[in-house]
Amino acid sequence: MAGLWLHAKPGNASRVERSKVRVRAPDGRIERTTASFGLWPWVQLAVSKGHSVEHFCEVAGIAQGAVRDMGVRFSQPVSNRVAQLAYTWFGPAAAMEAGLLVQSGQFALLELIVRSTPTVRKGLEYGCLFFPLLHDGGHLGYDALQGGRAALRWHPPQSYLVHHGYVELTFAVALLGIRRETGRPDATPDEVWFRHEAPDDLSLHTRVLGVEPRFGMPADHVIFSASMAALRPTRANAEAHRAATEAGAAVLDE
């Protein structure tokens, strides 16, 4: 299962711990990388601009019923086509606009796993570990940095392309979610990098991400200060977290 990036010792391990020790495949299967709820923000964006769900899905070449079904996964070429349609219709800030439309609970089990952790740092760790619930092609990696800082890194698949809109959307949703779940709208990262080229206007990217991102860089990452990584989600709950991680690991074990 692509995307599993943390490690734990084997032995009498729980299902969660067994998931942590899997060897990461180089790339996930191109024909089923992205969960339907990973495409839904593009649909929401289209609706916010006055288009119907039916029309956007028809032009994108996807079944409306499939994008509404939480159990459906789309291939990466189809997922890329949907993202590119959003960029073609709505411009280079489409991912930032889509991120602003994402509501609490929209990312289901993955979101519950993350928001129930005791700190943002742990949320980043578990968000990376269970990212395959959303996308199983490339992977997110978490790094603990010197001085208590933390890094969230996107590692793209090597054998096929993932549209850069998904990288922007992932970082936007993560940062907006951290602010929402910690009750700290002023929380901003130290740094955001993207590999792809910069749009002409960075104003919405800067507002959503909290800092002006740098483009054309050698990596895609977000760097968090020690103080931001230490923030506590208001809905931290050890019992809910245990139940959610067991459920998430069961899904990944299927």
Give the strand pairing for 73-74 and 34-35: antiparallel
Residue type, 233: P
| pLDDT value, residue 22 | 41
| pLDDT value, residue 145 | 97
Residue ranges per domain, the chain? 15-253
Q: From 187, 191, 189, select the one nearest 234 (Cα to Cα).
A: 187
Are 176 and 64 a contacting pair, CB within 8 Å? Answer: no
Across the chain, which has 254 residues, the per-10-residue mean pLDDT values are 35 44 67 96 98 97 95 97 98 98 93 98 97 95 97 96 98 98 98 98 98 98 98 98 97 88
3-state DSSP of 5-69: CCCCCCCCCCHHHHHHCCCCCCCCCHHHCEEHHHHHHHHHHHHHCCCCHHHHHHHHCCCHHHHHC
Question: CB 230: neighbour CB atoms within 10 A?
Answer: 14
Question: In whole angstroms, how far apart are CA 35 and each of 66, 67, 107, 160?
Answer: 10, 9, 10, 17
| pLDDT value, residue 161 | 97
User: At 151, is the secondary structure helix, strand, or coil?
Assistant: strand
Write down the pTM of the prediction. 0.91
- Tokens read off for 69: 């079904």
